[in-house]
Structure 1
Amino acid sequence: MSVDTQKLDLPALKQALREFVAERDWHQFHTPKNLASALSVEAAELLEPFQWLQQGHATELGEQGLQAVRHELADVLNYLVMLADRLDIDLVDAAFDKIKLNAVKYPIEKSRGTLKKYDQL
């Protein structure tokens, strides 16, 4: 697996979010619990554009639906970055660590092409 880390500019996003929050004096409200709650709400809102689609494919969204998904994804990402920042967690390191853990739980020869959970492989 190869990833071009030059394109991963989470530090710039984190700094922009810090500035946005500081300008509004919202840091006082951004406890880990509140950020996790907001993240959960935004993740749930991501389902709304897909709610009544026949198959749930991207082609069914249309321009307006795709824009709604884009905005919700941005909200999810922003809250995720703020929560990780507040907890001093490096998201990129955590994500790569999780990929490694999942590779052990889901070996290719047992998991390829199946929806089974790791404990059912």
Structure 2
Amino acid sequence: MRQMRAFSDARDWGRFHDLKSLTLALAGEVGEVAELVQWLPAERAMTADPPLRERLGDELADVLLYLLRLADVAGVDLSDAVLGKLARNGERFPVASFRGVAPERQ
């Protein structure tokens, strides 16, 4: 988080990094990940060859960096948010009821 903030600050990009702009940038990067695998058979996407894996790594890194910056600007502690979400999901989807079952949208 500190490195991403320093990277942005050094370039004076903070004025461009509002919630809306960062959210749209994040969505765009997720779209780039999807674009890499959208027409691949599922088994090929799961066993990506080294060039595809490298491109996926770059795009996933972009997703993570934008997510970190968005959380920083929004004042969200991602560690706390993730742990809280995992706890709530554990209550919503108990193992005994959902093991091997894809939950329907609730």
**What TM-score, normalized by structure 1, do the two folds share?**
0.81
Matched residues, number? 105
Unmatched 5+ stretches in structure 2: none
Structure 2 CA distance for aligned equivalents of residues 96 and 85 of structure 1: 17
Q: Which residue of 2 aligns with 1:10?
A: none
Cα drift, residue 55 of structure 1: 2.1
After TM superposition, list the pairs within 5 Å mapping 1:56-67 onto structure 2.
56=43, 57-59=45-47, 61-67=48-54
After TM superposition, list the pairs within 5 Å mapping 1:41-80 onto structure 2.
41-56=28-43, 57-59=45-47, 61-80=48-67
Residue 80 of structure 1 aligns to a residue whose secondary structure is helix
Cα drift, residue 58 of structure 1: 2.5
**What TM-score, normalized by structure 2, do the two folds share?**
0.91
RMSD across aligned positions (CA): 1.3
Fraction of identical pairs, as percent:
36
**Does the Cα contact within 8 Å between 1:17 and 1:82 map onto a contact in 2?**
yes
Structure 2 CA distance for aligned equivalents of residues 36 and 65 of structure 1: 25
Find runs of 4+ consecutive structure 1 residues off by over 4 angstroms.
none
Residue 116 of structure 1 aligns to a residue whose secondary structure is coil
Cα drift, residue 118 of structure 1: 6.4
**Does the Cα contact within 8 Å between 1:35 and 1:83 map onto a contact in 2?**
yes
Is the counterpart of residue 109 in structure 1 residue 99 in structure 2?
no
Unmatched 5+ stretches in structure 1: 1-13
Cα drift, residue 116 of structure 1: 2.3
Q: Which residue of 1 aligns with 2:76?
A: 89
2:8 pairs, out of 9, 21, 27, with 21
